[in-house]
Every structure is written in C-alpha cells, then in structure tokens.
Amino acid sequence: MAREAIPTAKGSDLPTLSVRQERVLRAVVGSYVGGGAPVGSSTVAQLLPVNLSAATIRSVMAELSELGLLGKAHASAGRLPTELGLRVFVTQLLARRDLVDYERRDIADAMEEAHGDAVMRVASDVLSRHTHQLGFAVTPRLERLVLRHASLVRLSTAHILVVLVSQSGVAHRCLIDDAGSSDQADLDRIASALSDRIASRTLPEAREALAQEVRALRSQADRFRARALRIAERALAALPGGPGGLVLGTWLALLDQPEFRDPERLRALHRAIETEERLVALLDEILKKARGPHVAFSDELGEPALRHCALVVAPYGGPSAPLGMLGVVGPSRMDYARVIPLVDYLSQLVTERLSA
C-alpha cells in the first residue's frame, strides 16, 4: 500500500504538513470516512501509530483547524475534515489499497460479456455496485474514434438514417433530410462505398478525404457517383461532435450513503446530473489534462447540488489519446483508498474492451 499522489484541482496550492500533522489528519479522515461522525482526540489516539498525549493531539488538531483542514461540527467537541483537508489527504497522504482477487474476477467477468454500445452501460453499473456510489461513463467523442463501416437506411421519402460503427463496435446514429430518388438498393451501394473510404480513419480524416474526392469529381460527368458522394458527405457532416454523452449506473447505490437519505438532496443531485451538459463539459476539461485517476471536489464542480460531493474519475482509451472518462460521484466522505484503484482498474478494462 504505497502512498501515491492523486491529482486534484489546486493541488499545488496545498499546505505542507509536519509528520505529526500528517498522522493526525490521516487518523481523522480515516475515522470520518468509516463512521461519518465528528472525531475527538481520544479516537485519534487509538488510531495513531505512535503514542501522543491527549493534550498534544488536541494541539495538533487546533493547528490543522487553523490551516483550514479541520472544522468543528456544531456543538460537538469533535472535528471533521473540511474539503481542503480531504484534498490534502487525497493528494499527499493517501495509501491506495489493492483490489482483492474476487473483486478483480467479478469486474473482469462482467466486462468480458460487454460488447459495443453495452460497454459503457455495464461499466457504469459495475462502478455503482462495487463502490456504492453513482457510477457513470462519458461516451467517446465521435471524432476520436477510428471508424469501421457505415449503413444508410431509407426511413421515409424524406429521411435517411445514418449509422456509423467504430472499430470498437460503438454505433452512432443520426438522421439526414433527403427527398431524392435513391432507393434502399442505391443507399446500400453508397454505404458500401462510404465504408471503404472511412475504414481505419477517424471522422475528421474521413470528412477530409471525402471532401477531396468531391472536389476532384467536379470535372467528371458521373452523376450517380456525384450524388453518392454528396449524400456521404452530408451523412458525415450531420454526425455530432463535441463531448460525448453521459451513461449512468444505478441511482439505488447512493441510498447506501447517509448523506443521500434526504429525498430532497437526492432529487437535487438527480436534477443536476440529468441536465448533463455542464457535468460532461467539466469532465471533458478534466480529460484534456488527466493521465490517470483524478479526484474533483465540489469547489471544482461549480454546481450547488454537488456541494459536499466528489468525483473520482479516470480516462479510458490510452494515455496518449484518451477517448472518454468514467468514474463515480458521491459524498466527499468517500473511501478513496478503495474507490480510486477500482475506478482505475475498470478504466483499463474498458480500454481493453474498446480495442479488442
């Protein structure tokens, strides 16, 4: 269980602690995560690896309070870690625990059965079940995926359904308006030609290759090919860009957390996450910087309903060009030593599934 620094926002602005302060903060956080109650000096004394007097412990706790790392809980004599205190703990003091063998097997078996579009749904459910937090995954940006083939389906005299499938089996769909005379047989021929042109390319690469072919065709009198290329070009142009969508695990997992037994707080969190644009945009910003597990606290999230909450996330798809992100959201009183390696392990499995 080696200590490992986990990135958080504002990680470079954190105070430097003495060894004694580190030990006391670690003990307070450990007791708080386990029980959720204010922590007194007698409890800290039982958890410390060295003997310190109650007076010394109270003095160190007072120092940590002055640094903004501990706060007083109402009239109780005990202390609770503040969000800053939790950030210092995660960034400087955390000792990650290895997953036990049966957890690894259970997670790996679940992911082994997931294919294509089901990978993100299964990953989110596995995260919820194993962490008792709300698991989620952000689907890959379409422009980051390497494509395999395309299908075009005539839905009506005015609409064509475009289906693009990536090499990982993830399908993306959109509608385009088309009142032309192409029947389904013609569309199948166009889709076959389009598949040849997009295979093993990303969406931006495929769009550029198609645009070059359209420009080269202007001097030729192949009317069918020209129409085919126009439909193909419009099909690629209609596919959405920007951040991916949010796939959620089961909300029931959060009912295990005392912080969310208040129905109004759970409803507020539900509304904030279901209106997913802000959260997905935030995760997309984290994705641009993250090269491994990342913890985001509520001051980084900028959403009132996520006050006293935290996200533990990790990118998937490879360190040089990550495709998306997965993780959990829950109360900031979270067992980070267990949750972080679990999220990290699952991100590795998702990467393997998408590259299989």
Can you say whether the dihedral through the CA atoms of 68, 74, 77, 81 is positive or negative?
Answer: negative
Are residue 261 and residue 349 in the same domain, yes or no?
Answer: yes
Are residue 184 and residue 218 in the same domain, yes or no?
Answer: yes
Are residue 207 and residue 320 in the same domain, yes or no?
Answer: no
Residue 55 lies inside a defined structural domain of this protein: yes
Instruction: Over range 334-340, report the average pLDDT.
Output: 95
Residue 2 lies inside a defined structural domain of this protein: no
Instruction: Over range 51-80, report the average pLDDT.
Output: 89
**What are the Cα distances from residue 245, in Å, to 33, 275, 321?**
31, 11, 18
Residue 3 lies inside a defined structural domain of this protein: no
> Which domain does 162 fall in, by range?
143-238
- Indicate if the pLDDT at residue 71 is higher than 90: yes
pLDDT tens for 263-297 read: 888 888 888 887 777 788 888 888 777 778 999 99
Residue 176 lies inside a defined structural domain of this protein: yes
Residue 189: give its domain's CATH number: 3.30.390.60
pLDDT tens for 108-161 read: 999 998 887 789 999 999 999 999 999 999 888 777 788 899 999 999 888 889
Are residue 50 and residue 187 in the same domain, yes or no?
Answer: no
Are residue 87 and residue 23 in the same domain, yes or no?
Answer: yes
The number of residues in the chain equals 356
Are residue 273 and residue 331 in the same domain, yes or no?
Answer: yes
pLDDT tens for 210-259 read: 888 877 766 555 677 777 777 888 887 877 666 678 899 998 888 888 88
> By the 8 A CB rule, do 295 and 312 touch?
yes
Are residue 211 and residue 232 in the same domain, yes or no?
Answer: yes
Closest CA to 47 of 59, 34, 36: 34
Residue 1's pLDDT band (cuts 50, 70, 90) = very low
Compute the chain's Rg from CA coordinates.
26
Are residue 126 and residue 174 in the same domain, yes or no?
Answer: no
Residue 49: give its domain's CATH number: 1.10.10.10
Q: What order of strands is seen across the sheet that includes strand 246-248? A: 246-248, 134-138, 324-331, 309-316, 294-297
The total of structural domains in the chain comes to 3
Instruction: Over range 54-77, report the average pLDDT.
Output: 89
> By the 8 A CB rule, do 354 and 168 touch?
yes
Residue 6 lies inside a defined structural domain of this protein: no
Q: What is the pLDDT of residue 96?
A: 84
Instruction: Over range 33-57, report the average pLDDT.
Output: 91
Residue 183 lies inside a defined structural domain of this protein: yes
- Alpha-carbon distance 237 to 229, whole Å? 12
Output phi, psi for 165, to 5 deg: -115, 130
Residue 291: give its domain's CATH number: 3.30.450.40
Write down the pTM of the prediction.
Answer: 0.80
Are residue 134 and residue 247 in the same domain, yes or no?
Answer: yes
Q: What is the mean pLDDT of the chain?
A: 86
Residue 2's pLDDT band (cuts 50, 70, 90) = very low
Are residue 278 and residue 332 in the same domain, yes or no?
Answer: yes
- Name the token pair of 55: 């007076």
Can you say whether the dihedral through the CA atoms of 154, 155, 156, 159 is positive or negative?
Answer: negative
Are residue 79 and residue 133 in the same domain, yes or no?
Answer: no
- Alpha-carbon distance 26 to 88, whole Å? 10
pLDDT tens for 86-99 read: 999 999 999 888 99
pLDDT tens for 178-222 read: 877 678 888 898 899 889 988 999 888 888 888 888 777 665 556
Distance of CA 303 to the CA centre of its chain: 17
Are residue 154 and residue 207 in the same domain, yes or no?
Answer: yes
